[in-house]
Chain A
């Protein structure tokens, strides 16, 4: 099969979308579990989180996985863009008056908008933490690890910053609520019982992830009021 077929085929495009999406979703679990360390008592969280960040950034295997993840994200975004543009072309001139929205959920139709919100959040997130950690001039803690905890902790004292995070996690929740089971459908799960199961898993996962990620900045903010 030539590469041209891969990019022209409406089903294969979706397979890329689902596999990359599921991989990113799996990463979210690991990321959330790691971040829960931020909620430990202050002193313990401080040293442990910095130690954890040091561990992640100095392990070759984790580094490789990280680059695979970045590549996955980029494929997910580019594929989404391609699908959206092609679908728009398929829709042609469209309806002059369009009331078709009543037939489906808002978030299933607007995965792109939700995705853009998440992408904007990621840019901010990478700039403030990832870039700072890798290239920024940040202090070290008493164990000699870069004090990323302090930066995170300080940023979550700002109400507007926490608000941006929470909005992004709500968008993430809706993105996952459609994305997870939709990915399974694209992969061909057609048994009625499994369809129900993947819908339950998808929605439960979406709620857990968006709630889990949102309570971390919220709790740190409230603790410091």
Chain B
């Protein structure tokens, strides 16, 4: 199949970017979107041009490292998928495909399609952990946790931190990402000790990074590759309001 690509090219974080058009011919419809970009880069190298920078790691839809805005939607036109799980067969022969980085003011473009998502790491560092003595593994079932609580915590823990929720939100809110970790730890007894401190610290960190307010459009859940539920956001609000009312920090 043949496609025309319009790819965002930007030299560094300070320069102004622009779209560049490339034509790719004889693509295998079964190649993934990232493999198609690999083909583009090989072509560019042969032409003695600078290849397009983009992030990728596992290419199995697990790690959350890849992430591009394809035709105006983060990770393309399929719900609940990562960019690497988009395949060329999901496009028509002769299509023009527009590729941009994930956008948010907290996501600085490093080069081309590669963005700096370390703001999410800093939110995690603010409270996305439990302080426990490490040592030998505790006995199984020494800490009883209900089946439903374990399931709920696991559903929240499934977040891979890819940033799709932020890029798909019209407010660039990091509410889904931040709330997933808060909910996971608030559901489990291990997280109880730092429960109030954690939610306040993580919300403060989220605000400090310049992410917007959640206005409950629920677009994030629709695009999330892990189908993280917006119920997590409700739980974060509950935890935050509770911490405010209890006055604990």
Of the residues A12, A96, A189, contact of B238 by C-beta under 8 Å: A189
- Judging by beta carbons under 8 Å apart, are A195 and B234 in contact? yes
Q: Evaluate contact between A10 and B211: CB separation under 8 angstroms.
A: yes
Complex contacts, A171 vs chain B, CB 8 Å: none
Assuming the contacts A87-B213, A186-B216, asked whether A95 and B103 have C-beta atoms less than 8 A apart, the reply is: yes
A91–B238 CB distance below 8 A: no
Q: How far is the CA of A187 from the CA of B236 in the complex (A)?
A: 10
Which residues of chain B are near A195, meaning CB under 8 Å?
231, 234
Please tell me which one of the listed residues A92, A97, A100, A187 contacts residue B219 in the complex, with CB atoms under 8 A apart.
Answer: A100
Asked if B162 CB lies within 8 Å of chain A CBs, one says no
Residues 177-213 (chain A) with a chain B CB within 8 angstroms: 178, 181-182, 185-190, 192, 195
User: What's the minimum C-beta distance from B85 to chain A, rounded to whole angstroms?
Assistant: 17
Nearest chain-B residue to A178 (Cβ)? B216
Q: Of A9, A99, A108, A188, which is within 8 A of B239 by CB?
A: A188
**Chain A's nearest CB lies how many Å from the CB of B31?**
23
A183 nearest CB neighbor, chain B only: B216
Q: Does B120 contact A (CB under 8 A)?
A: no
Find residues 226-248 in chain B having any chain A CB closer than 8 Å to their own CB.
230-231, 233-242, 244
A94 touches B103 (CB 8 A): yes
Q: Give residues 52-99 of B contacting A (CB, 8 Å).
A: 69, 71-74, 77, 79, 98
In the bound complex, do residue B219 and residue A188 qualify as a contact, i.e. CB atoms below 8 Å apart?
A: no
With A95-B69, A104-B218 in contact, do A89 and B100 touch (Cβ < 8 Å)? no
Q: Does B207 contact A (CB under 8 A)?
A: yes
Interface range for A: 35 or more
Please give the distance in Å from B87's CB to the nearest CB on chain A: 19
Complex Cα–Cα for A109 and B173 (A): 13
Determine the distance from Cα of A173 to Cα of B211 in the docked complex, in whole angstroms: 29
- Contact between chains at A91 and B170 (CB < 8 Å): yes
B217/A89 in contact, CB under 8 A: no
In whole angstroms, what is the CA distance A95 to B236 when docked?
A: 28
A residues 51-109 near B (Cβ < 8 Å) are 83, 86-87, 89-100, 102-105, 108-109
Which residue of the partner chain B has the closest CB to A5? B204
Q: Which residues of B lie under 8 Å from residue A181 when comparing CB positions?
A: 216
Interface residue? A166 (CB, 8 A)? no
Chain B's nearest CB lies how many Å from the CB of A8? 6
Which residue of B has the minimal Cβ distance to A188? Answer: B238
Query: Shortest beta-carbon distance, A113 to chain B, in Å?
Result: 13
B104 CB-CB contact with A under 8 Å: yes
B112 within 8 A of A: no
* Cβ B206 vs Cβ A10 within 8 A: yes
Q: Which of B77, B104, B175, B216 has the most CB of A within 10 A?
A: B216
CB distance from B241 to the nearest CB of A (A): 5
Q: Does B171 contact A (CB under 8 A)?
A: yes
CA of A91 to CA of B172, assembled, Å: 5
Residues B215 and A83 in contact, CB atoms below 8 Å apart: yes
With a cutoff of 8 Å between Cβ atoms, the chain A residues found around residue B244 in the complex are 12
Out of B168, B214, B238, name the residue touching A190 (CB < 8 Å): B238
Interface 1/0s, chain A 127-144, versus B by CB < 8 A? 000000000000000000
Q: Which residues of B contact A14 (CB under 8 A)?
A: 213-215, 237
Evaluate whether A186 and B218 lie within 8 angstroms (CB atoms) in the complex, with A86-B212, A98-B72, A100-B168 already known.
Answer: no
B223 partner, pick from A87, A93, A96, A103, beta carbons under 8 A: A103
Find out whether the CB atom of B171 lies under 8 angstroms from the CB atom of A108: no
Q: Give 5 closest A-B pairs by Cβ, nearest first.
A: A188-B238, A99-B72, A92-B105, A90-B212, A190-B234
24 of the cross-chain contacts (CB-CB < 8 Å) are: A10-B213, A14-B215, A83-B213, A87-B212, A90-B211, A92-B172, A97-B98, A99-B73, A99-B77, A100-B73, A100-B219, A103-B79, A103-B168, A103-B219, A104-B218, A178-B216, A182-B215, A185-B216, A187-B241, A188-B237, A189-B238, A190-B231, A190-B238, A195-B231
